[in-house]
Structure 1
């Protein structure tokens, strides 16, 4: 706020009136001058309040940061009754750029701009070279040099004041205000006003960056939703009708996009063409379950790649072990570069002979409940992870299934599920729960629901799980 001196009293009385009693009347000029001074101070105070209020309104209303920054040098000079202002911003690569400039007298604009740009070039040239994409923060020494260079190039006849624009305790620029009036002084009040404008500038910059991050997040969320929708469509929409078999399946991902995979694949081209008329029930069907190491988008992409390659390989009519071997060789280069691997259990069921042919690539072995013996056995073969070793060999095995037998394929989301103490549900608890379900539940869907409920009760988490959880229940009927 500009300090206005009191008007000086005249040394000689100049305009007096005579009272009725003949004496001299008191001079009332100082009273009028004092009233005018108070009125002027009030007008200036209201002007400053109006300007700052307008700046606050712009901060709330403008969606474009550039529009707001355009006001900053103007407002800073207006609230301090100075000749102009300049806004300099520090870029992530360390460069200093003159962002906005305002001069009350446009004749000085070119001269002031040249001085500011010369100062910024000299400071930028003294900074170390930064590689593309890297960021650098100006050190206090560089900022002090910048102040010195700006003052030097503007000249000694310019009254200059500069303050920092701090965003999250990091200096992101400088706001300079200047005057060519030799009587102009940077009072404490004027300095506070400049700092107030600088603070609002920092808020605008931070709000803009938060808005950009929010838009990025919204765009990523939308892409994840699309990815999750595509992945969900790639999983079987319903269990197929296979002669003498009843199925139930569910995949519950920890994130919107997961790395678990299961599939039911007709074992021949003829079956794929005959799915609509129901004749595929009598043909062989592949039942597969897999798990990509990790979660989220990378695991989901690899899962999608695995699905496509496996479906193409199944139609070649090789044995389960040969199918896994070919799949491993094809996927090895891509998985090696990604440092991710896939566990996969692949099986083919022949409804005519009720025989299950299978091979395992280091996946959790399925559990088979044999009704005739009231016992559970694990279906497993030797074999390494898909993508770990290009020359890995896999083994074939088979098992005869009978009416009443029930088989579960599952991922490690079940056995690795942990309670509040960190104890895992593990395979032993899953086996006990499966055994109870086979004795008390009547359909594969009931068994599936019971096993999911048991895991949720163990972990205490109903709506969320730490890892993807997938389960297939296959039951042989008469």
Structure 2
């Protein structure tokens, strides 16, 4: 907003007209006096600039502004009225420098009703009400006002008043006041930026903590299970994601070789959505599922019970979960499974060199209270490879807008399986191709997780000692 001039009477300088034009005053005295005044003004402006560069407390800086202005141009009083970011008068930060008792003015400003409304500072008609208020308070005085402007937004108003008459307002005074106003606008804008940075830093810390907790909840390494190799990786789109996979012994009390030969559960899931809410729900489901696993129930019953337990919490969050649950017995190589609308894992058969999907009917977790699930089963043979994955893999978008899709994933899995690679190299190559498809340095739009299970090709039956009578 341009400077607005109301009726005013402002001192020109510390020099009176008599001093300037008295025949007894010498030209050197005049120059010395002007030099002292110029030096003083430079020191005041330098002090304000230093305060702007080094201030850590905006309130103290704003309190300093009216004092500088009154000394800089030799007026009796100055009032600074800053505005909130939403345009309301910042009542707590109104500062006044005056020779007389003007606390009543500050009190009246703090209860100025129009200034309590959002957008007040952005309406010229509303600002005119504030100008009129000041003019009425100093009806016998000269008043000058200007706005604090930063990044095109009005951040406050400065009012300068003086009761002395027969004084005039010079261009130098006008420039000095506008300079102080501009510096003050920058100070307010800088404080807003600092507060925003602090909010982001706080959120980043929370995200980092959430990501650390989630990373601890996901398995830090794959377990040793007799007869198979495992490799797994979750790559969240954000610091905290909604993808989930886990490996759980159905009899956690077993240790060592007995645990390796015991039954294990493999699960992969995806909470709809991304970020912190999805991560929190994933954490909740992990705890529920781990409690269910030790029951020893078949996969379809596990999913049924999990749906019942999580239904209320998921309904309140308006989110659902896809989940593929399976259990594996190393002794028989039998894999049982049930699916809650998750992407069916891909099974590459070493004998036929063909890929099929492991799937069974089932609704999303959290969708319906009476959802039923079907248990399927298969026998894994030596050399077979099973790939669990989330839709963040197949739905990943390339630079041309094309999707990675299931067809590409099947082709790549078949290519790497034929090469005889073990689980970890297959997983690494799949993610490398995914990254190349999305583009170097590009972020995934959704969390992407993959688990590779490969049955060892040199499996032998357990030795059975013959007992001779």
**Is the TM-score greater than 0.5?**
yes
> Quick one: distance in 2 between partners of 1:455 and 1:74?
63
Please state whether the residue corresponding to 1:43 is helix, strand or coil: helix
1:76-475 equivalences in 2 (<5 Å): 76-91=69-84, 92=86, 94-95=88-89, 97=91, 99-103=94-98, 105=99, 108=100, 110=101, 112-121=102-111, 123-124=112-113, 126=114, 135-138=118-121, 139-156=123-140, 158-267=141-250, 271-275=251-255, 277-461=256-440, 464-475=443-454
Q: Which residue of 39, 48, 56 corresponds with 2:49?
A: 56
Output the CA distance in 2 between the equivalents of 1:300 and 1:366.
23
State how far apart, in whole Å, the 1-side matches of 2:261 and 2:186 are.
69
How many Å separate the matches in 1 of 2:454 and 2:364?
Answer: 28
Separation in structure 2 between the aligned mates of residue 462 and residue 53 of structure 1, nearest angstrom: 46
Q: Flag the 1:58–1:310 CA change in 2: closer, same or farther, 3 A.
A: same
Give the CA deviation at 1:191.
2.4
Question: In structure 1, how many angstroms separate the alpha carbons of the residues matched to 2:367 and 2:200?
Answer: 34
Distance in 2 (CA, whole Å) between partners of 1:113 and 1:260 is 61
Q: Does 1:74 align with 2:67?
A: yes
8 Å contact from structure 1 (residues 116, 150) kept in 2: no
CA distance in 2, matches of 1:417, 1:441: 27
* 2:96 and 2:106 in contact (8 A); partners too: no
Contact 2:20 2:30 in 1 (8 A): no
Shift in CA distance, 355/461, structure 1 to aligned 2, threshold 3 Å: same
Q: Contact between 2:94 and 2:106, CA under 8 Å: does it hold in 1?
A: no
Q: In structure 2, how many angstroms separate the alpha carbons of the residues matched to 1:300 and 1:444?
A: 27
User: How far apart in 1 are the matches of 2:199 and 2:51?
Assistant: 24
**d(CA) in 2 for partners of 1:60 and 1:137?**
29
2:462 aligned partner: none
2:120 partner SS: coil
TM-score w.r.t. structure 1 length?
0.87
Q: Provide the secondary structure at the position in 2 that maps to 1:278.
A: helix
The normalised TM-score by structure 2 is 0.89
Partner-residue secondary structure (3-state), 2:196: helix
- What is the CA deviation profile of residues 51-109 of structure 1, one whole-angstrom value per residue up to 9, with x for unaligned ones? 11110011111111112112101001111110121112234483452621112x3xx1x
Aligned residues: 442
Larger relative contact order, structure 1 or 2 (CA cutoff 8 Å, min sep 6)? 2
Q: Secondary structure at the match of 1:272?
A: coil
Cα separation, partners in 2 of 1:119 and 1:183, compared to 1, 3 Å:
farther
Does the C-alpha gap of structure 1 residues 447 and 115 become closer, same or farther in structure 2, counting only changes over 3 Å?
Answer: closer
Whether contact under 8 Å (1:4, 1:37) holds in the other structure is: no
Q: How many Å separate the matches in 1 of 2:161 and 2:103?
A: 13
| Stretches of structure 2 lacking an aligned partner (at least 5 in a row) | 1-11, 460-469
Over 3 Å counting, the alpha-carbon distance change for 1:224 and 1:197 in structure 2 is same
Tell me if the contact between 2:120 and 2:126 (Cα under 8 Å) persists in the aligned partners.
no
Contact 1:159 1:185 in 2 (8 A): no
Q: Is the 8 A contact 1:224 1:256 kept in 2?
A: yes
Q: Give the distance between the partners of 2:65 and 2:20, measured in 1 at CA.
A: 37
The answer to whether the Cα contact below 8 Å between 2:89 and 2:120 also exists between their aligned partners in 1 is no
CA distance in 2, matches of 1:6, 1:331: 89
Give, in whole Å, the separation in 1 of the partners of 2:218 and 2:106: 62
Q: What is the Cα deviation at residue 467 of structure 1?
A: 2.3
Larger radius of gyration: 1
RMSD: 2.1
CA deviations on 1:387-415 (whole Å, 9 max, x unpaired) are 22222211111111111111010111221
Deviations 1:189-247 (Å, cap 9, x if unpaired)? 32222221111111111111211111221121112111111111101111111121111
1:317-338 deviations in Å (ceiling 9; x for gaps): 2221111122122222222222
